[in-house]
Amino acid sequence: AQSVAQPEDQVNVAEGNPLTVKCTYSVSGNPYLFWYVQYPNRGLQFLLKYITGDNLVKGSYGFEAEFNKSQTSFHLKKPSALVSDSALYFCAVRDYSGGGADGLTFGKGTHLIIQP
Amino acid sequence: DVKVTQSSRYLVKRTGEKVFLECVQDMDHENMFWYRQDPGLGLRLIYFSYDVKMKEKGDIPEGYSVSREKKERFSLILESASTNQTSMYLCASDAGFFNEQFFGPGTRLTVL
């Protein structure tokens, strides 16, 4: 069975500082990893994904994530935080076991708060 | 602009009522999904469908059923609503396993 852990319920960062939101995963096959963001009273929006290739993945709004197979991690990063980045962030994984349209397994989410 | 729409943003029902949540996507996606979102638990998969009239159970299917009669529409049914089904329900669709999912705005269901 696959699982995702987001060890921090909340991350506080000052505006202009770099930010990191942590994610670790567990899968039996090859991991396919995603980050989503949810603004208040909104659905989830896709930020970026890792399928294969370069370990550093760039996504929307200046976010990037680094896939680390040995540490089974996929941390979300941004060099300079904006107040508008404040939201709820979800890491998710799909474990490709040979076919089908299995859904995503999500972490519990991390509240990111950017302080002016 | 691609879109997943859900029939209601807010819904209040009584215990024991039959509840229908509707989801429509305009992207011609094969795959559609229903999740519920609860604070501290993240999103959990209820059911998904990879084709018309096809359905698969997710992680928490108990107390729910689904219907997919047309490619663009995926319905979630609560046969007899209970208070522990009070939650935010999110519908999603995607174009294949390696593609990102597109989510609807969610339906916040309260069962009294």
Q: Longest C-alpha distance within chain B, in Å? A: 39
Q: Give the separation between CA B97 and CA A90, rounded to whole angstroms.
A: 18
* Maximum distance among all Cα pairs of chain A, rounded to whole angstroms: 47
pLDDT category, A96, cuts 50, 70, 90? low
Confidence at A19, pLDDT banded by 50, 70, 90: very high
Determine the residue among B10, B90, B101, B102 to mutate to test chain A binding: the one whose Cβ has the most chain A Cβ atoms within 10 Å: B101
Asked whether residue B74 carries a pLDDT value surpassing 70, the answer given is: yes
Q: How many residues does chain B have?
A: 112
- Amino acid identity for residue B26 in this structure: D
Q: Which of B80, B72, B82 has its CA nearest to residue B28?
A: B72
How far lies B31's CA from each of A102, B50, B70, B71, B98, in Å? 9, 4, 12, 9, 12
**Nearest chain A CA: its distance from B101 CA (Å):** 7
- From the candidates A44, A88, A90, which should be mutated to test the interface with B, based on the most B CB atoms within 10 A? A44
B37-41: long-range contacts at Cβ-Cβ below 8 A with a sequence spacing of 24 or more? B37/B87, B37/B88, B37/B89, B37/B90, B37/B106, B38/B87, B38/B88, B40/A9, B40/A108, B41/A108
For the record, the structure tokens of A24 come out as 């670790």
| A29: confidence class by pLDDT, cuts 50, 70, 90 | confident
Give the C-alpha separation, B92 to B62, whole Å. Answer: 19
* pLDDT for residue A102: 74
pLDDT at position A28 is 83
Confidence band for B1, pLDDT divided at 50, 70 and 90: low
Evaluate whether B21 touches B6 at the Cβ level (below 8 Å).
yes
Looking at chain B, the whole-number percentage of residues with pLDDT higher than 70 is 98
Interchain contact B93–A (C-beta under 8 A): no
Number of neighbouring beta carbons within 10 Å of residue B96: 10
Yes or no: say if B56 and B48 are a contact pair by the CB < 8 Å rule.
Answer: yes
Cα gap B45→A28, rounded to integer Å? 19
Q: What percent of chain B has pLDDT over 90?
A: 87
For residue B95, CA distances in Å to A35, A58, B58, B92, B105 come to 17, 21, 18, 11, 19
What's the rounded mean pLDDT across residues B50-69? 93
Residue B66 pLDDT > 90: yes
As a whole number of angstroms, the distance between CA B30 and CA B50 comes to: 6
From chain A residues 47-106, the ones with a CB under 8 A of any chain B CB are 49, 51, 90, 92, 94, 96, 100-106
